[in-house]
Structure 1
Amino acid sequence: MGISVNHISKSYKNVKALQDISFDVKPSELFGLIGPDGAGKTTLFRVLTTLLIANEGTATVAGFDVVTDYKKIRSNVGYMPGKFSLYQDLTVEENLHFFATIFGTTIEENYDLIKDIYVQIEPFKNRRAGKLSGGMKQKLALCCALIHKPKVLFLDEPTTGVDPVSRKEFWEMLKRLQQKDITILVSTPYMDEAALCDRIALIQEGQILEIDTPEAIVKHYPKQIYNVRANNMYQLIKSLNDYEYNHSVYPFGEFIHYTDKRKDFNPDQLLVFLKSNQLSNIEITETVATIEDTFMELAK
């Protein structure tokens, strides 16, 4: 079963954390909530996992209402919060046994679900959780969230602060879990991870900007983007921002991503302008849009 969110709003005093949020997650779908810190991702997760009550709107998770059926939801979902929240003084094995006992099950009963993940941390099963590396903590937290065989899995920024290799391994694990009929809602500030989801929702300041497949969202980007580079990148950014025809300018790796207001834009015009600003070794080449480009455009 999936997730249905209908016109959810949540405020903290004068701060509107969520504003009229609506979307559906299909059964067994890997759905990404993509946005920066403070966008409202964690607040939405807390509403959907029955830890907060929304000011307005309704939502169901695995067919259960988040307000009236909160006990059923808690026994049918797994939740991995952004901050490592397991018992740091307990060992890996003790944490797993504890969470299995809470849900009235055993490690052995659902071992097939966590086996691929657990074999990676089993050599450290007698180590205290607080002494694990970031990647190992993440795998233990995922095992604990899965030990009761949930129908829906909530992962709030699960790879923040984790090394690139562990991030890659983690997403490979999610793809395997998806094949076991688990619906997964994951939030992340990393735009490159968005491309690994079936569908994504871009969220900023508590509002959904767009919902679609990663491919479709990128395809909707309205302008041609140019990679621009020169001998003095600081001066290049300043010059591009001063250029009267610029539509957007922002750093992107070793380049500046630039778009122009004019439909008949010729890069040679920009080249002349940059040379007049005492810049040299100038490169201007066409490039394709990314999800990050699309997010920046929509956020404007």
Structure 2
Amino acid sequence: MTEAIIDVRGLTKSFEGREVVSDLDLTVNRGQIYGFLGPNGSGKTTTIRMLCGLLTPDGGTGTCLGYDIRTQADQIKRQVGYMTQKFGLYEDLTIRENLVFVARVYSLDRIGTRVDQALERLGLAERANQLAGKLSGGWKQRLALAACILHEPKLLLLDEPTAGVDPKARRDFWDQIHTLAHQGLTVLVSTHYMDEAERCHEILYIAYGKLLARGTVPQVIAAAHLSAWSVEPRQGDGAEIAALSAQLQQRPGVDMVAPFGALLHVCGRDEAALDAATEQERADPKFHWRRVAPSLEDVFIDLMGRAPDNFK
């Protein structure tokens, strides 16, 4: 049977009279990677902090790792690895010294062995005596992850961990995350990168405190019922595409228009309405139109556009 690592119902949190998380239901199963997506200020970080015991919810009930999120926060904290967006270790200590410090904070046994294993696991052994402050963003990320898993947590919460990191470092990081998941670790990661979302087993989209969509990437895309066209000029320059973009943005039935180099991506919520709105332009021999599958980014932009902004 599938084991639920996180199971919460009606999770609610307000700050200064503004509801940041509203009646959120969430179930996360063991050994899976869940992508947590949404615009800035949507409540992702607040939700993560409530799940790991750093914040007490105003409303709602549930468990994390079998412990009550309201009354057993201390037990949850000891079994969770939490990696924030901002590097939180000591820059004037070496990689090894930082890991030894973290191990002592958790009162771990076999500190030397645990640190050596973490260094090998994350490819940090050859840099063990390098100051953390001298590391690039990608290596700091590896060190932060090593610190998070040093106490062998059952759940890993990652809050935009790859922000500002180059593509190769991001890919290396995700390879490590998948290795950990294969070993039974459960991961909940917030991200703004669509390629990272597509590497998750399931994704959850939250906007302004409300969970709007969840499932596998194909399930979320299919549930959005979007339709899309790709347009490119047969000849000429970008001026024709720019003019076409301006025209289409005024048409009922066209919900999104976005340029990608010489191409134009046109998307709508109603396929018949979109086709009717673009019929005249599709007959124009200056352009080549082809129907394409909507992307995950299309879905998220559409969801974001329709969600009520509780900060206004």
Q: TM-score, normalised by structure 1?
A: 0.89
Q: Equivalent residue for 1:291?
A: 296
**Counterpart amino acid of 2:178?**
K
1:65 alignment partner in structure 2: 68
Q: How much has 1:240 moved relative to structure 2?
A: 1.3
Q: Give the Å deviation of 1:55.
A: 1.3
Aligned to 1:241: 249
Residue 29 (structure 1) aligns with = 32
8 Å Cα contact 2:226-2:299 kept in structure 1: no
Q: Of 122, 127, 140, which residue of structure 2 is paired with 1:124?
A: 127
What does residue 6 of structure 2 align with? 3
Tell me how far apart the structure 2 counterparts of residues 193 and 62 of structure 1 sit (CA, whole Å): 25
Task: Determine the C-alpha separation between the residues in 2 that align with 1:64 and 1:81.
Answer: 22
Correspondence 1:96 to 2:105: no
Q: Does 1:165 align with 2:168?
A: yes
- Give per-residue Cα distances to partners, 1:10-41, cap 9 Å, x unaligned: 11113321111111000111111011222211
* Post-superposition offset of 1:239: 1.5
Give 1:110 shift. Answer: 6.9
CA distance in 2, matches of 1:283, 1:254: 12
Q: Does residue 270 in structure 1 map to residue 270 in structure 2?
A: no
Q: What amino acid sits opposite 1:283 in the alignment?
A: H
1:39-92 residue CA offsets vs partner (Å, 9 max, x unmatched): 211111111121111111123211111221111111111110111111111111
Q: Indicate conservation of the 8 Å contact 2:227/2:271, yes or no.
A: no
Aligned to 1:210: 213
Write the distance in 1 (CA, Å) between the matches of 2:271 and 2:178: 42
Change (3 A) 1:79 1:114: farther
Q: Deviations over 1:137-189 (max 9, x none)?
A: 00000000000000111111111110000111111111100111111111101
Cα 1:284/1:155, change in 2 over 3 Å: same
| Correspondence 1:49 to 2:32 | no
What amino acid sits opposite 1:285 in the alignment?
R
- Residues 25 and 127 (structure 1), Cα distance of their counterparts in 2 relative to 1, 3 Å cut: same
CA offset digits 1:255-296 (Å, max 9, x no partner): 332135561726552245xx6xxxx95332211122111222
The answer (yes or no) to whether the contact 1:221–1:289 under 8 Å persists in 2 is no
Percent identical among aligned pairs is 34
Matches within 5 A, 1:211-226: 211-226=214-229
CA 1:110 to 1:127, structure 2 compared with 1: closer, same or farther past 3 Å?
closer
Can you give the 5+ residue segments of structure 2 that lack an aligned partner in the other structure?
A: 307-312
Of the three residues 134, 149, 154, the one matched with 2:152 is: 149
8 Å CA contact 1:225–1:259 kept in 2: the answer is: yes
Aligned to 2:183: 180
Q: How many residues align?
A: 292
Amino acid at match of 2:40: D
For residues 75-130 of structure 1, the C-alpha deviation after alignment (integer angstroms, 9 at most, x for no partner) is 1111101111111111111100001111122141475566331x2x2222222212
- Structure 1: gaps (5+ residues): none
